[in-house]
Amino acid sequence: MTTELKQTFCSIITIGDELLIGQTIDTNSAWIAQQLNPIGIPVKRRIAVGDNKQEILDALERERNDSDIIIITGGLGPTSDDITKPVLCEYFNSGLIENAAVLKHIMSYFDKRNRPMLQSNLMQAMVPEVCEVLFNEEGTAPGMLFKEKGQVIISLPGVPNEMQYIISTHVLSYLQANFKTPNFIHRTLVTSGEGESFIAERLKDFEATLPPEIKLAYLPKINIVKLRLTATDIEEGILETHFHRLKEILHNITIIDADLELEFVLGQLLVRNQKTISVAESCTGGSIASRITSIKGSSAYFKGGIVPYSIESKQNVLEVSKDTIDRFGVVSEETVIEMAQKCREKFKSDFALSVSGYLEKKDHDNSVWIGLNSSSTKLTKKIIAPYDREKNTILVANAALNLLRLFILKQLSASS
Amino acid sequence: MTTELKQTFCSIITIGDELLIGQTIDTNSAWIAQQLNPIGIPVKRRIAVGDNKQEILDALERERNDSDIIIITGGLGPTSDDITKPVLCEYFNSGLIENAAVLKHIMSYFDKRNRPMLQSNLMQAMVPEVCEVLFNEEGTAPGMLFKEKGQVIISLPGVPNEMQYIISTHVLSYLQANFKTPNFIHRTLVTSGEGESFIAERLKDFEATLPPEIKLAYLPKINIVKLRLTATDIEEGILETHFHRLKEILHNITIIDADLELEFVLGQLLVRNQKTISVAESCTGGSIASRITSIKGSSAYFKGGIVPYSIESKQNVLEVSKDTIDRFGVVSEETVIEMAQKCREKFKSDFALSVSGYLEKKDHDNSVWIGLNSSSTKLTKKIIAPYDREKNTILVANAALNLLRLFILKQLSASS
């Protein structure tokens, strides 16, 4: 039994020529959507328009037809291409007034950084009379909230940390207090090892029996497919039941039953088992180490890494024997075995991963060897890297991190 | 003197619930815009909608009011949440027919990968009768091109490498052959060292004297500001003259006069001067090495790196003396001096960069030390990292790469 509740929708309008010429990738919209979903406000549409008054007004007018909440980002900077504030003043027929709190904050902001202040910075303390100011502790452009005809229009700076600060501190609590929202929940399963269409084949019966309030989506990435169940207005327990069935069907290819990165999952596993790792990565050039250390608290289990990018450094720094490299080549099973072993010895870690291969299409046969070393194991895996340099780096790093994850799980299940 | 030419516009519609709930960051739109701009087709608007028939139809209808070319990505996969093809069939009132070339390709695609084929994969060879098929060598979902009333509607898979393949191979040449476009050019200057409002202050007179056909935009990033001049329908020489003035005004903070990454610029500098580098990075965890090696051909100048993430590995692997660390601490000028020196010795490179610091707000004082070592120099720099872990990593890596870049330039100018 569901109560009748009008669904509240949000539209996101991002403003800036840089978005339309492809100079900037819009990460703000995704972040905002991630915050709004848990409080039951789905994003209806996302629109990117240029620094152009008519385009901004058109987008605003159109989105107000369909959404209750419009979040606008960008165009609030101190320079002349930033036109959002004057456009909103015109739209809401409002003059500007100086906001004392914002002015004080701007002055202290520059004072703290020991930077002189300009007239253009002071102008940021001028806000539309009819708006509610959303204080921006992280920068100088305040957010602005307008109310009209039961709708809320929120204008925020486009600088990600400033936008994020204002949403977290002011916007979410305001929306929760002012909009009644339905129960809107997601559960995500992350898998690796099977293509989208194969998973779909395995899930045919499962999909056929899903109630209409639950939707299944496939999100394929580089050698990873995420499966997402979305439910509107049903009890969490019902979603859980279906999610549990999904996990059972795909148990053999599941990485984790939450929308988390592989490096996070591996980190948790290492912490729980009090194990440490190190990495010796050649072709991935530091990106495995960099992904591991992107996780807060990784210093508890990551001892360090070596990027032996040249052949000499494989010999001189990592101390792989010249003989092994000469006989088998830098990209070989024998070399990654020795790389992982030397790495583990140097860093005194429980596990070591090693990688050596070719990531560019024209290089040789595009093959990459991955090694894993522990006190009791020498494991290797060969993979083919069919994409471009950037995607292959992700592919290989995923494969290496997952090799270690699966190995630890296998050890655990063997010892239990 | 400009000839009167109707401006051709493009709208991009991206389809997928994952875009609206923030699970996927849309990188396709930016990439597409980057390809369209050089051929004189600006993007008017970008819209993201969910896997919802009415939303897709509404977006298409609306964009056809304003744009001549509509590029749609996403929703062409083999699973049931992929509805773009049936929606387009309905919109263009078209049935499906089997395309023999696509069918053959799909069969050989699975055959080569030694994977069994499913009915859902074969269905991808069924295409709308009224469309022109854009062959997809990289995957199984073909692109589709529809013509109606002088407008072109193109539907492409959302998987980035497949979309990119079809655009590069089929779409760009088609658009160039079928649309007359005006001259539409950009020049970008990348700067570091001054905030957006300060640069704007310095550029006041410059901006005032720009002709109306040239627009200046400020694109602030983490400790980098990009300045972009966009010109429509004027001679390239005129834009060059203004861009030259811009470079002169900002010469002291310019990194490069093209929209290129710092690691690319540094790489070029190292190649030209036949110098090599290595890095010893603690808090940045491999991300400097990973950025350096993201550049094709970096093996010519990058010898390798060490990520001594633990204190023991700073001593045991990098061989920084225990005495230095005990006396001055791991985050100290003395430690990064020794880190850079040991790194250069180990990798036998001309230069070595080192980094040690705290990237999380609650850690100590958020300070990071950067060291640079060459046969004749020990240079250090202390910076404060005020953001979160991810942004601070970018900030510190930028600072380190730029420290080396400036040092090489200074050496060059002293020796010339």
pLDDT along chain B (416 residues), means of 10: 66 92 87 88 94 95 96 89 93 95 90 78 92 92 95 95 94 92 83 87 92 86 86 87 96 89 95 97 97 96 98 97 97 97 98 94 77 96 86 91 93 83
Q: What is the mean pLDDT of residues A292-309?
A: 97
- Take residue A242 and report the two structure tokens written for it: 């279906």
Q: How many of the other CB atoms lie within 10 Å of CB of B268? A: 16
Order the strands of the A69-73 sheet from edge to edge.
Answer: A132-134, A143-148, A151-156, A69-73, A10-15, A43-49, B43-49, B10-15, B69-73, B151-156, B143-148, B132-134
> Which residues are CB-contacts of B360 (< 8 A; sequence separation ≥ 6)?
A296, B366, B388, B389
The pLDDT score that the predictor gives to residue B362 is 60
Helix (H) or strand (E) run with residue A250 in it = none
A216, B81 in Cβ contact below 8 A?
A: yes
Query: Are A46 and B43 inside 8 Å of each other by CB?
Result: no
Query: Are A45 and B59 inside 8 Å of each other by CB?
Result: yes
Q: Is B318 helix (H, G, I), strand (E, B) or coil?
A: coil
A43-49 and A10-15 beta bridge pairing: parallel
**A347-351, A397-401, B157-161, B233-237: which has the minimum mean pLDDT?**
B233-237
CA distance readout (Å), B343 to A352, B352, B359:
21, 6, 22
> Which residues are CB-contacts of B52 (< 8 A; sequence separation ≥ 6)?
none
Burial of B51 (0-12, 13-18, 19+ CB in 10 A): buried
Long-range contacts of B110-114 (CB under 8 A, 24+ apart): none
Please tell me the distance in Å from B45's CA to the nearest CA on chain A: 5
Query: In chain A, what are the domain boundaries?
Result: 10-178, 195-256, 262-415
In whole numbers, what is the pLDDT of chain A averaged over residues? 91
* pLDDT bracket for residue A25 (50, 70, 90): confident
- Take residue B298 and report the two structure tokens written for it: 């970096």
**B55 in contact with chain A, both atoms CB, cutoff 8 A:** yes
The pLDDT score that the predictor gives to residue A364 is 59
Q: What is the mean pLDDT of residues A250-262?
A: 90
pLDDT tens string A135-158: 998 888 999 999 999 999 999 999
Query: Are B290 and A284 inside 8 Å of each other by CB?
Result: yes
| Backbone φ and ψ of A250, nearest 5° | -105, 20
Q: How many of the other CB atoms lie within 10 Å of CB of B379? A: 18
Residue type present at position B34: Q
Q: What is the mean pLDDT of residues A409-416?
A: 85
C-alpha Rg value of chain B to the nearest Å: 26
CA distance readout (Å), B99 to B86, B120, B134, B414:
16, 15, 11, 66
* B53 neighbourhood in chain A, CB within 8 Å: none
Q: How many of the other CB atoms lie within 10 Å of CB of A111? A: 11
- Comparing alpha-carbon positions, the chain B residue that sits nearest to A347 is B313
The CATH superfamily assigned to A262-415 is CinA-like (3.90.950.20)
pLDDT at residue A4 tops 70: no
Report the interhelical angle of B53-66 vs B84-91 (nearest 10°).
60
Tell which B residues from 263 to 302 touch A, by Cβ distance under 8 Å.
278, 284-290, 292-294, 296, 298-299, 302
pLDDT at residue A221 tops 90: no
User: Is ipTM beyond 0.90?
Assistant: no
Taking alpha carbons only, the member of B357, B350, B352 closest to residue B338 is B352
Please tell me the distance from the alpha carbon of residue B53 to that of residue B55, in angstroms, as a whole number. 5
Query: What DSSP assignment string belongs to B114-141?
Result: T----HHHHGGGEEETTSEEE--TTSSS
The pLDDT score that the predictor gives to residue A1 is 36
**A380 in contact with chain B, both atoms CB, cutoff 8 A:** no
Taking alpha carbons only, the member of B363, B357, B364, B362 closest to residue B393 is B357
Q: How many CA atoms, within 13 angstroms, populate the side-chain half-sphere of residue B107?
A: 6
Of A62, A197, A317, the CB nearest to B118: A197
Taking alpha carbons only, the member of B261, B316, B352, B139 closest to residue A23 is B261
Residues constituting chain A: 416
Taking alpha carbons only, the member of A78, A84, A32, A79 closest to residue A53 is A84
pLDDT at residue A84 tops 70: yes
Helix (H) or strand (E) run with residue B39 in it = none
**A187 in contact with chain B, both atoms CB, cutoff 8 A:** no
Q: What are B221's strand-pairing partners?
A: B224
B137, B106 in Cβ contact below 8 A?
A: no
B200, A79 in Cβ contact below 8 A?
A: yes
Please tell me the distance from the alpha carbon of residue A59 to that of residue A33, in angstroms, as a whole number. 18
Taking alpha carbons only, the member of B46, B44, B39 closest to residue B15 is B46
- Take residue A265 and report the two structure tokens written for it: 């999952």
* A34 neighbourhood in chain B, CB within 8 Å: 21-23
Please tell me the distance from the alpha carbon of residue A202 to that of residue B279, in angstroms, as a whole number. 47
Total H helices, total E strands in chain B? 17, 17
- Take residue A391 and report the two structure tokens written for it: 């995607």
| Backbone φ and ψ of A61, nearest 5° | -60, -45
- The fold adopted by the segment(s) B195-256 is Alpha-Beta Plaits (3.30.70)
Of B81, B195, B288, the CB nearest to A217: B81
* pLDDT bracket for residue A2 (50, 70, 90): very low
Q: Is A102 helix (H, G, I), strand (E, B) or coil?
A: helix
Burial of B107 (0-12, 13-18, 19+ CB in 10 A): middle
Residue type present at position B241: T
**A168 in contact with chain B, both atoms CB, cutoff 8 A:** no
Domain A10-178 has CATH 3.40.980.10: yes
Please tell me the distance from the alpha carbon of residue A120 to that of residue B232, in angstroms, as a whole number. 28
**A62-66, A211-215, B331-335, B364-368: which has the minimum mean pLDDT?**
B364-368
Q: Is A254 helix (H, G, I), strand (E, B) or coil?
A: strand
Please tell me the distance from the alpha carbon of residue A246 to that of residue B3, in angstroms, as a whole number. 61
Taking alpha carbons only, the member of A289, A296, A411, A410 closest to residue A354 is A289
**A321-330, A381-390, A399-408, B286-295: which has the minimum mean pLDDT?**
A381-390
Please tell me the distance from the alpha carbon of residue A302 to that of residue A270, in angstroms, as a whole number. 9
Q: What are A369's strand-pairing partners?
A: A356, A382
pLDDT at residue A183 tops 80: no
Please tell me the distance from the alpha carbon of residue B172 to that of residue B165, in angstroms, as a whole number. 11
